[in-house]
Structure 1
Amino acid sequence: MQTSVTIGQIPTGWNIDTNLASIEEVVADSKPDDVVLLPEGALSGYAPDLSPLATLDRAALAEAIDTVAGIARRRGVHLFCGSLLPEGGAWWNAALYFAPSGDRWTYRKINLAVNERPVLRAGAELPTLRVPQPWGDLVVGVQLCREIRYPEQWQHLARSGADAFVYLTNAASPEAAAGVWRSHLISRAAENQRFVFAVNLADERQHCPSMVVSPRGEVLAELPAGEIGTLRVTVDLTQVSDWSLGQQRRDVLDLHYHPPAQPSD
């Protein structure tokens, strides 16, 4: 039960063509069946100042999304790419999944950053996704950026059957304390006994690493902070365990997830 992950630490500017070129370079370093990760906002662009959304070419973004889908099909990879997404009359912060089969899937960030709330709409679901591998299905849960601060979301995904967490972020603040977000990633892996596949943008102010963490909390590989680069790691999914979660005192404290109400006809 081995899975290979390719992580691309790239810039996330507002030029869609430049972003596409960077994405293609990362995918070129992958192999068929790889799980490929690109940062939050990697396709559309992203920055603390979201005012460029007002003039972002929606048609060009839609075309670029189709282009990325084609890249995933041609290379035979499972590609997770962050993008701001116009849909239903609103903008969302999303993680887009593209399968070699042509299938697509979207996770919409449920816990928005302060700068996002006036501009973006929050998602309302924490789904898992089955990613086909030669040995069977890898079940993943996806989280975006500041959602690293909410361990209950990750625990819910683990309890829902996730073997690994796909984490896309755009974390580059000079005000962030050094090492805190790295510690969060290690904790999310160890406390849930799941793999963490994490990717951040390439930025000299980067305060969260791009790395792979084992269910034991071991950092298996990590890219240098601030540098453009790609890493590829193969992991053994038999290391995933419910040993810790199975010992929770759920008779004393439990978490309950309430899915959003479905609209009536």
Structure 2
Amino acid sequence: MQVTLVQLAATLDSAVNRDQVAARLRDVEGGGLVVLPEGAMHDFGAPDHDLAAVAEPLDGPFVDLLAREARRLGSTIVAGMFERTDGLPFNTLVVVGPDGDLAATYRKIHLYDSFGYRESDRLRAGEIEPVTVTVEDLTVGLMTCYDLRFPELARRLVDAGADAFVVPAAWVAGEHKVDHWRTLLRARAIENTVWVAAAGQGGERYSGHSLVADPWGTIVEEAAGGDELITAQIAVDAVQHSRDVNPSLANRRM
């Protein structure tokens, strides 16, 4: 299956972001899985930026755009948005199928209360309900950014049948951050013998380095820091082969 990662830098103007997403998707070959970053609908902005005021419902203009593009491309699209609620919004991944229907949503479980920042002041954590979705012959588990630092979520996803993890992110730049990003993505691939496809925001504020890692933890494609598209072929056969050779999941005792 083809997977395409769209690395971009979102702005604080949701209409501009929709135009940017539509323009970037015009460069995508149809079919397979297309992954956009966390916050592709609207950037986080400064800590005092009111995300509740810009959050959208699941039938709002951002998801409507994704539905049109998914139908046009014949692809499944995963993208991050802020989902409107009666109180603090959710940090939500939406999965739109090639028919344009909403196939799944994942509301970020682990909010980024770390490195001097408190995401929980601005957003609501989702229920502890790991989410998988079938894309062609692969079962894909959904994670968002800071979730990557919690291997227990990855284990729950692989126990639910995941052959691949998709990780949209807005991984803030800083000391150690790119090294942590690459190391953690490879670790989740190695310890769970899954593909990992991670689409991050780029630009000055975020780390970029969107990448695809195979079930051995080898990085097969990686972006740098700017606006980029990267594409890779991923296959369930590679997952089964890695698990035959390295049956660490079957050998677990805890």
Shared fold by TM > 0.5? yes
2:122 is matched with 119
Q: How does 1:29-48 map to 2 (within 5 A)?
A: 29-47=27-45
CA-to-partner distance for each residue in 1:186-236, whole Å, 9 max, x for gaps?
010011000000011012353362000000111000011x21111111122
Q: How does 1:1-265 map to 2 (within 5 A)?
A: 3-47=1-45, 49=47, 51-56=49-54, 58=56, 62-104=60-102, 105-114=104-113, 115-124=118-127, 125-131=129-135, 133=136, 137-207=137-207, 209-224=209-224, 226-241=225-240, 242=243, 243-248=247-252, 250=253, 253=254
Counterpart residue identity of residue 143, structure 2: Q
Instruction: Report the CA distance between 1:123 and its aligned residue.
Output: 0.8
Could you say if the C-alpha distance between residues 116 and 240 of structure 1 is closer, same or farther in structure 2, counting changes exceeding 3 Å? same
CA-to-partner distance for each residue in 1:151-170, whole Å, 9 max, x for gaps?
11001101110110000110
Counterpart residue identity of residue 76, structure 1: G
Secondary structure at the residue paired with 2:204? coil
Secondary structure at the residue paired with 1:246? coil
Instruction: Report the CA distance between 1:126 and its aligned residue.
Output: 0.6
The 1-side partners of 2:54 and 2:231 are apart by 32
The 2-side partners of 1:150 and 1:90 are apart by 23
Could you say if the C-alpha distance between residues 155 and 208 of structure 1 is closer, same or farther in structure 2, counting changes exceeding 3 Å? farther
1:256 is matched with none
Q: Larger deviation: 62-71 or 180-189?
A: 62-71
Could you say if the C-alpha distance between residues 83 and 50 of structure 1 is closer, same or farther in structure 2, counting changes exceeding 3 Å? farther
Q: How many residues align?
A: 243
Q: Which runs of 5+ in 2 are unaligned?
A: none
Secondary structure at the residue paired with 1:189? helix
Could you say if the C-alpha distance between residues 189 and 50 of structure 1 is closer, same or farther in structure 2, counting changes exceeding 3 Å? farther
The 2-side partners of 1:231 and 1:147 are apart by 22
Secondary structure at the residue paired with 2:60? helix
Q: Larger deviation: 22-31 or 212-221?
A: 22-31
CA RMSD, Structure 1 to Structure 2 (Å): 2.1
Instruction: Report the CA distance between 1:58 and its aligned residue.
Output: 4.3
% identical aligned pairs: 31
Could you say if the C-alpha distance between residues 30 and 196 of structure 1 is closer, same or farther in structure 2, counting changes exceeding 3 Å? same
Secondary structure at the residue paired with 1:42? coil
| Contact 2:200/2:210 (8 A) holds in 1 | yes
| Contact 1:19/1:43 (8 A) holds in 2 | yes
CA-to-partner distance for each residue in 1:78-119, whole Å, 9 max, x for gaps?
000101111354400011111111221210001111222122
| Contact 1:46/1:84 (8 A) holds in 2 | no
The 1-side partners of 2:38 and 2:48 are apart by 13
Q: Which runs of 5+ in 1 are unaligned?
A: 254-265
Counterpart residue identity of residue 231, structure 1: I
Q: TM-score, normalised by structure 2?
A: 0.88
Q: TM-score, normalised by structure 1?
A: 0.85
